[in-house]
Structure 1
């Protein structure tokens, strides 16, 4: 019994191994399929629908693309036989049967009619293909199918809201609230932010008309705040420029006045030096004149002394001569008496 059980277990393991190997060789790996809506008016999170959406205007035509890339180590290529998208109605792609090798890819496109009613829609993408393997075998027709729930159809009010939300958010990033310094501009900015948040709230509850008017008002308030801030900064720059110019003019005036006073001081110093030199020269002249007069007085005094001495000498000479003459006369008289 044990031997039989062992044989049965061995047989089961052999069958399981063959099954696994068979699946590894011939199993159909899931092809990589990527879908894309071309040029939507909006791609992002929608507060009303509460999900990521790809949006188009109502009653339009949109291009839809499907990218197919096969993979798998045991697959040579795949043959794409049918592609379709089912939105309200199924739309098939006009394709030719062609082989896509592993490592290569193809893109297929089709125009799809967008529904008339604004809402979010689901759609189904279907790809029918066949795989070819290295050993020359191939698979039966395989079906790749996936459901998407992210196609939104927007009304005109929704489109306007989304456009102005984008404009406002771009301005808010470009002009940070921390850069505003004008008090009036800051008040407008607070009012704009309040209206923006209110518009988002109204949109999330489907009140698209009110949300549109509110976000337009918020955008205009933000623009006014930016304009006021720009004018305020221009005035500050102009005031600083004028003040700087006035300050430079005042400094130049003070410097010119200082230069004038310095020149005037030099002029007065020169006049003072000239006056001092004139006074000194006059004093020297007077001193010289006094010396001259003193010398002249000394000369006259000397001449007077000379005249006096000469007169005395002459007087003495005359006196001596008279004495001698008198003596001679007396002598002669005495002689005659004898």
Structure 2
């Protein structure tokens, strides 16, 4: 494993004509203010299941009130185009980073709240879902019973034991969402419940959150008809308020908060990460490029502190996951955060 402060080598990617691309150097929207928070949450109803979910979270946190707890967000949010949703806009994310990171947090002794897109990858089961193999490929028949194919038994037993240990010790709580509205309401509610943990609370915001949505006042009730607009679909979307600063300042003011910045252009990755860190005043941005996100990331902290974490060619060949470097480094920073509070 390699940890250094050197930028990655210059790469060329085939991403279309640059002159036709959106200017990614334009500043992002300003942080949401208290007015924006009230305006959004007063006019976008919470999901029906929120009360029941918050009770689950409260019970989980009561059990872990003296432990470190991390909220890992994972997967992409959807933006429904109809109230009775048939069509929606989705965000690119299978939840790989979040699901993998959750496992390594559990290995570090954290209790994990896993706020994930429904049907995205989950800790432990990710090893056997969303893969090139059908799940049944891992099965075999012996004497009229279903068993694990012998060539997969050792690996699957190891994963099973880790999963069972997490369940037995009540270290993992799975919390699903689908839409951007469900995600935001749930994030705010969980954040407030986590406040008593103070600095022992960690937010690892790996979800791919939609930048735009359709307010309830403009969303159609029924399925949009394909020929209703002259064979064109023109959408008027509003920007999703940037609530990260509300999380930092109001919802969980004593917690350590980590966000992610995904880009495709290596020349602006550091700039965009520094911009987010300055704008929202949280503790760390983990930057990654779409093309190399599984093999290298950069930690962008206060004071232009840039630490690159990279897998070597040998580690990549051995199937080592970059999260086995990311999470211990995050835990070290979290320990420093706790000690300074």
| Structure with higher strand content | 1
Is TM more than 0.5 here?
A: no
What is the TM-score with the length of structure 2 in the denominator?
0.19
